[in-house]
Structure 1
Amino acid sequence: MQNLNSKTLNREEYPVKILQFGEGNFLRAFVDWMINKANKEIDFNKGVVIVQPLENGLVPMLKEQDCLYHVKLEGVKDGNPITSTEVIDCVQDAINPYSEYEKYQQYFLSPDLELVVSNTTEAGISRVENEDIYAKPPKSFPGKVCQLLYQRYEHFNGAADKGVTFFCCELIEKNADALKEIVFELAEQNNLGEGFTSWLNENCHFCSTLVDRIVTGFPKDNIKEIQSELGYEDNLVVVGEYFHLWAIEAPQVVREKFPFDKAGLHVVWLDDMTQFRDKKVRILNGSHSAMTPVGLLSGHQTVMESFNDKLISDFIQNMVSEEVSPNIAGDPEALKQFADEILERFYNPYIKHYLKDISLNSTSKWITRDLPSVIDSLKRTGELPKRLTFSMAALLVFYKGEYNGLTFSVTDTPEYVEFIQNEWQSDKSTDAKVEAILSNQQVWGVDLKAVDGFVEKVTEYVNAILNDGIKTVLEKVA
């Protein structure tokens, strides 16, 4: 079997116009896949250079394969299974700015540079105390961006046409706004001048985006079989679902410059992300967060396993239709269609989307994704939504770490997990334990006792789960 590189596979060469901060599976199977599609379909003609945000990463492996790799997509479309595999050749180079700073600098000072894409994780867009923006390179991602833009501003004497557009893919609300805010703070702290900040405001675009595609990553369980199908020893294969969605908040000039939607890609351009994000977070992410503890307590390992359990699929479908969607602004039929498309993905027979992975940091996820629907439903109907409230009870039992002979590895802020599990191990009554846990505003970030009747109803469900079993309670609430 041949190694995958530019000698064994004839690749296209594209002018480097995009810097990508992040070399992980998601960006390579989502953004680079889209750029690749656009290059083939609409003569987009843009190459990518991947920048490794941290000192250690995948750059050596990417270079071994001349930045070539395959993306294998598997999913369900209109009820039918669908698969596709294609080689990604839009990535022209990959660099580690910590060991190749001068080369990195050459790329971000290139007159051809148009776009910077990032996924530096939720922690990436953050402040570093006493950030040195003159380091080679600065430590934080915003520090790198501030340095990049200031050097570019000086190098081109503030030329209006040398501004850069940013598409942020980090999973935080208004991700590009957060990046821009820190960049401007750094500019002010370092006295970079009003000319620079005016250039930023007038010639650079910071575009918040919302991304959606499940990417399971490197298929270690069946990599030999996949490599045999490909005919190459590709050690950077990325597997993901067929479904994809990229919502981008951008002005018209940006939409015209990067017309991904013209390549048949599911890219939605928006003036304001708020309503669209609310819909996606509440329906898709809210369903994941509500289903995960219920599925794990029921002995399931993946989303599809859980959804093949009729009790759980009914629970989620009814939760979305009765307790989530009615609280979201918009046309009810369009919302129903959106929800149907989202929930169809849960039946994907190809993707092993592990519940334990979704359970990471569930305390903050539930508050962000599910609590707004609880509050809105309570206001709308005068009653607590039973399924959403039950999902919190299941979450508390999951954080106990064991249930009905099952043991769980709980991954969250260590002090939160320690507090919750210490409460569970105390001599208090179950009622007192649940009240103590839900009353801890440090864990939840909000006062859950302020939600009328919520603590009492969650306590009732927790007792029922412990005494009668998850299945019995689920039969009553589904």
Structure 2
Amino acid sequence: MPITPVLQFGTSRFLQAHADLFLSEALPGERPVTVVQTSGDPARTGRLQALARGYEVRIEGISNGRKISETRRSDAVARGLSIDADLAEVTRIVAEEARVVLSNTGDAGFRPRPEDRESRFNAAMSYPAKLGHLLRPRFEAGGAPPQIMPTELIQNNGTTLRGLVLDAVSQSDRTYRDWLADEVVWVNSLVDRIVSEPLEPAGAVAEPYALWAIEAQPRLALPCTHPCIQIVSDLGPIERRKLFILNLGHTWIVSDWLARGREGARFVRDVMADADWSARLSRLFADEVLPAFVAAGEADGVADYIEVTKERFANPFLDHKLQDIAQNHGEKLERRIGAFLDWARANGDTGAKPQLSAALERSDA
């Protein structure tokens, strides 16, 4: 097998249509990725094999006012392994080959488990505990410290993963813990792309928009160069755009939909097809959201981001159900709209925000 400098934990359709597709497009003719299945689900064995054969990603949506429907092929994956059946080979790759370790295990993968305290590797461990065990042979062999690049949607995901790994190996010797803490490169990033459905046995359907924002730091080494990858000095402004424009917009739409008795729309795209509803959303962004970014000194590029967000909402191919967005609606109202209003006031934006205030008031009714 060829040497694979990128070791990826997780077979998610998101990674198939995001990082793996970027690597395939940026490095044609190369197959730099080994994918490791961490779930132990036997139903996914066929997916591992299909990933290594190459797969298709259907890109469907609106970009710059133009409807997009195209198919791209991804050939970045050289092999697929199972953490259960192929532990020895996974350990060898971590020790000898991997320069970059990617992951997308979800919140559940990061969550500590009782098995994490066991002295020997256990496939039931959390991802951070597994990583703590798998990196040990590399340290003992004197290998170069790798770069760890989680893509989980957790704020400061690299820093968070570092802390979880160090906690999982807290009983290990000090030299190993110091190597993990000070020599291994832990990368914070933010990823964004709606990947709406899987293709079988591998592949996915995704929107045109894609972003992999990576926080700059010493010794950072990009796995590839791609138009969708951005190096930024601070992830904060990008996180706020996503939370206070994209996510806030979704939550406001659902609040309005609930106030209508769940009538008038089923999908987000239905809202954008309603001229009055869509115009109210546009006014919300222009009159209530944008001024806060101006006041905070973060207005550069925000108007363009709002336009892209509205295109994403209007995607005619995406069945983004309002009912699904409405889950945990009260919590989302506070985290997206309530937190935005607090942030706006803290930055000196004291302008009236009637539509957002009404959404919060309805939650208390």
Within 2, Cα distance between the matches of 1:58 and 1:343?
37
Within 1, Cα distance between the matches of 2:138 and 2:166?
15
Q: Specify the SS of the correspondent of 1:268.
A: strand
Within 2, Cα distance between the matches of 1:350 and 1:134?
47
Within 1, Cα distance between the matches of 2:20 and 2:13?
10
The amino acid of 2:325's aligned partner reads I
Q: Which runs of 5+ in 1 are unaligned?
A: 1-12, 220-233, 397-433, 435-458, 460-478
- Aligned CA distance change for structure 1 residues 375 and 167 (closer, same or farther; 3 Å): same
The amino acid of 1:390's aligned partner reads A
Q: Specify the SS of the correspondent of 1:127.
A: coil
The amino acid of 2:59's aligned partner reads L
The amino acid of 1:314's aligned partner reads A
Within 2, Cα distance between the matches of 1:393 and 1:64?
52
The amino acid of 1:208's aligned partner reads N
Counterpart in 1 of 2:299?
A: 332
Q: CA deviation at 1:276?
A: 2.0
Q: Does 1:140 align with 2:140?
A: no
The amino acid of 1:246's aligned partner reads W
Counterpart in 2 of 1:35?
A: 23
- Aligned CA distance change for structure 1 residues 141 and 361 (closer, same or farther; 3 Å): farther
Q: CA deviation at 1:133?
A: 5.1
Query: Which aligned runs of 4 or more in structure 1 are off by greater than 6 angstroms?
Result: none
Q: Is the 8 A contact 1:295 1:301 kept in 2?
A: no
Q: CA deviation at 1:393?
A: 5.1
- Aligned CA distance change for structure 1 residues 198 and 361 (closer, same or farther; 3 Å): same
Counterpart in 1 of 2:3?
A: 15
Counterpart in 1 of 2:33?
A: 48
Q: CA deviation at 1:14?
A: 5.6
Q: Does 1:303 align with 2:268?
A: yes
* Cα deviation code 1:91-113 (max 9, x no counterpart): 1222221233223223222x221
- Aligned CA distance change for structure 1 residues 149 and 361 (closer, same or farther; 3 Å): farther
Counterpart in 2 of 1:352?
A: 319
The amino acid of 2:232's aligned partner reads L
Match of 1:388 among 338, 349, 356: 356
Q: Specify the SS of the correspondent of 1:301.
A: coil
Q: TM-score scaled by structure 2?
A: 0.89
Counterpart in 2 of 1:342?
A: 309
Counterpart in 1 of 2:167?
A: 185
Q: CA deviation at 1:294?
A: 2.5
The amino acid of 1:36's aligned partner reads S
Q: Specify the SS of the correspondent of 1:246.
A: strand
Q: Specify the SS of the correspondent of 1:173.
A: coil
Q: CA deviation at 1:331?
A: 5.0
Counterpart in 1 of 2:286?
A: 321
Q: Specify the SS of the correspondent of 2:266.
A: coil
Counterpart in 2 of 1:103?
A: 89
- Aligned CA distance change for structure 1 residues 279 and 66 (closer, same or farther; 3 Å): closer
Q: CA deviation at 1:313?
A: 1.5
Within 2, Cα distance between the matches of 1:315 and 1:122?
34
- Aligned CA distance change for structure 1 residues 364 and 214 (closer, same or farther; 3 Å): same
- Aligned CA distance change for structure 1 residues 258 and 362 (closer, same or farther; 3 Å): same
Q: CA deviation at 1:36?
A: 0.8
Within 1, Cα distance between the matches of 2:165 and 2:49?
34
Q: CA deviation at 1:46?
A: 4.9
Q: Specify the SS of the correspondent of 1:102.
A: helix
* Cα deviation code 1:197-226 (max 9, x no counterpart): 22223331111111111111126xxxxxxx
Counterpart in 2 of 1:253?
A: 219
Q: Is the 8 A contact 1:295 1:312 kept in 2?
A: no
- Aligned CA distance change for structure 1 residues 52 and 357 (closer, same or farther; 3 Å): farther
Counterpart in 1 of 2:245?
A: 283
Counterpart in 1 of 2:76?
A: 90
- Aligned CA distance change for structure 1 residues 302 and 116 (closer, same or farther; 3 Å): same
Q: TM-score scaled by structure 1?
A: 0.69
Q: Specify the SS of the correspondent of 2:135.
A: helix
Counterpart in 1 of 2:202?
A: 236
Within 2, Cα distance between the matches of 1:108 and 1:248?
22
Q: CA deviation at 1:314?
A: 2.1
- Aligned CA distance change for structure 1 residues 349 and 177 (closer, same or farther; 3 Å): same
Counterpart in 1 of 2:152?
A: 170
Q: Which runs of 5+ in 2 are unaligned?
A: none
Q: Does 1:211 align with 2:191?
A: yes
Counterpart in 1 of 2:233?
A: 271
Q: Is the 8 A contact 1:116 1:164 kept in 2?
A: yes
